[in-house]
Amino acid sequence: MNKVLLISEDLLKTNTPISENVQSDELRFGIIQAQAIFLQESLGTNLFEEMLNLVDTNAILSPSNAVYKNLLDTYIQPMLITYAYYLVIDNFYVKFVSVGLTQNRSEQGDKIDHRTFQYLKSNAKQQAEFNDNLLRRHLIFRSGLYPEYNSGNLNDGQLPPIPATPFQSPLTIPTSAFAWSSKWRASGGNGCFNAMGPLCAGSPFPTWYGHTTNS
């Protein structure tokens, strides 16, 4: 099951600067790692394994699984493309050979310096985290569409979904609790609001955010 790919090597090439002449086996490891680490954290193990099973059996194409197909096409694949690209950049910068690590060289161009490499990695990570954030927000607001997302039946070694955003925006957006008005406090409320409404027991999320009835 862990060999099921939710994006193809060709799709990764088409949507990134990776050249067409790059061997597919150099990209497959990055895709598998992006799925097992980053995607499983966002979906949780139950929904993650359900997506792998639906793709592996082609049941994802059934009209009854249209919501899962939309999840795959609209949110999962863009997230995986950017995370897989983020991971495989390392493979293009250095290679493991029998004598140790070597830095790639090309007859058609000069090797990049480490500062440029760090910039490319940082930029790729920010894009991946942004797409991951879109996926996690969709799952929170539409959690009722995916029963596996809210399932609490986890075995040893399995992960619950992580709803917190992985993307750190340079903008400051009010998310933590702050006193809204003396009128609200006088009416018996807890005085906690953020930009989306009243908060639940001082949580950074409003009372309706991520409720199991969201659909």
The CA distance from 37 to 159, in Å, is: 10
Q: What is the pLDDT of residue 110?
A: 58
Report the half-sphere exposure of 121 (CA within 13 A, side-chain side): 14
For residue 119, the 8-state DSSP code is H
Q: What is the pLDDT of residue 112?
A: 66
Assign residue 7 a region (left: φ > 0; alpha: ψ between -120 and 50; beta: otherwise). Answer: beta
The CA distance from 206 to 187, in Å, is: 18
Q: What is the pLDDT of residue 151?
A: 82
Helices within 57-205 (DSSP H only): 66-70, 77-93, 114-141, 147-150, 182-186
For the full predicted model, state whether its pTM sits above 0.75.
no
Angstrom distances, CA of residue 2 to CA of 50, 124, 138: 12, 24, 24
Torsion of CA 61, 65, 68, 74, to 10 degrees: 60
Q: What is the pLDDT of residue 179?
A: 43
The CA distance from 5 to 13, in Å, is: 14
183 in Cβ contact with 193 (< 8 Å): no
Q: What is the pLDDT of residue 57?
A: 96
- pLDDT per 10-residue tile (average), the chain, 215 residues: 85 90 85 94 94 97 97 98 92 52 52 77 93 94 91 80 68 44 48 48 50 51
Domain ranges of the chain: 9-150, 172-215
The CA distance from 130 to 134, in Å, is: 6
